[in-house]
Chain A
């Protein structure tokens, strides 16, 4: 396509809503100059006139625009279809009374059903909480699993592993690091 020639795309509003077309156009304003208008004597078809900006490639512009328009139309359709559910979720989230009521209902349901699994889980949780709160509970400072013991103390230093200071000395000998800096560290 000629760089200065305008590209004309006609879209059916039964498929692509005017809002979706506008949204797609918005995504192209950095690449093209756009204008939208209804096709003469039609209240169903919208014509999009696209003029690529200087330096912008016109190749594949139509395909890219159509793909974008389709995506926007699809998004608008999904948004419209889920509007009611979304409204209900927002209503619940921003209405604490409703949220409490739902929470209360759930608790009641659980009791009424007398679900053995839920009761088992509940008693186990209560037991665990009691254990944690009791004085007999293990103190983290006791470290029965020896988590806080350093690796070297537990397993000894691997034979091929040098102490960091020794490692630094060797690097200094091989002129991999500044010897003066190593001297300062070793002397400290």
Chain B
């Protein structure tokens, strides 16, 4: 299982939710809020290499944060 943490003060929960929705075909996602962090747990990733997948997901959340997305 892989975990990505997003700072709640910077990232919007809605952007993360929207990114998870778009990425659900590639893996199983679960998230929870702990203090200032939004913790996203990712399992069964159907993409190789996994680190690249995680980085791409992080970038996609940034894209979703943008007003243009």
> What residues make up the interface of A, taking CB atoms closer than 8 Å to B?
18, 21-23, 25-26, 29, 33-38, 43, 46, 51
- A43 — nearest CB in chain B belongs to which residue? B9
B-side interface residues, number (CB < 8 Å): 15
Complex contacts, B44 vs chain A, CB 8 Å? none
Complex contacts, B58 vs chain A, CB 8 Å? 33-35
Complex contacts, B66 vs chain A, CB 8 Å? 22-23, 26
Partner pick for B7 among A23, A29, A37, A51, CB 8 A cutoff? A37
Complex contacts, A23 vs chain B, CB 8 Å? 66
Docked Cα-Cα span, A29 to B58, in Å, equals 10
Docked Cα-Cα span, A36 to B8, in Å, equals 11
- A38 touching B10 by the CB < 8 A rule? yes
Docked Cα-Cα span, A22 to B61, in Å, equals 11
Docked Cα-Cα span, A49 to B52, in Å, equals 15
B44-69 CB mask vs A (1 if < 8 Å, else 0) is 00000000000110110011011010
Known: A18-B10, A22-B66, A36-B11. A29 touches B59 (CB 8 A): yes
- B7 touching A38 by the CB < 8 A rule? yes
Q: Given A23-B66, A33-B59, 7 more contacts at CB 8 Å?
A: A18-B10, A22-B62, A26-B63, A26-B66, A36-B7, A36-B11, A38-B9
Known: A22-B65, A23-B66, A26-B66. A34 touches B10 (CB 8 A): no
- A29 touching B10 by the CB < 8 A rule? no
- A22 touching B63 by the CB < 8 A rule? no
Q: In angstroms, how far is the closest chain A Cβ from the Cβ of B19?
A: 12
- B52 — nearest CB in chain A belongs to which residue? A33
- B9 touching A33 by the CB < 8 A rule? no
Judge whether B22 is part of the interface by a CB distance below 8 angstroms. no
Q: In angstroms, how far is the closest chain A Cβ from the Cβ of B2?
A: 14
Q: In angstroms, how far is the closest chain A Cβ from the Cβ of B9?
A: 6
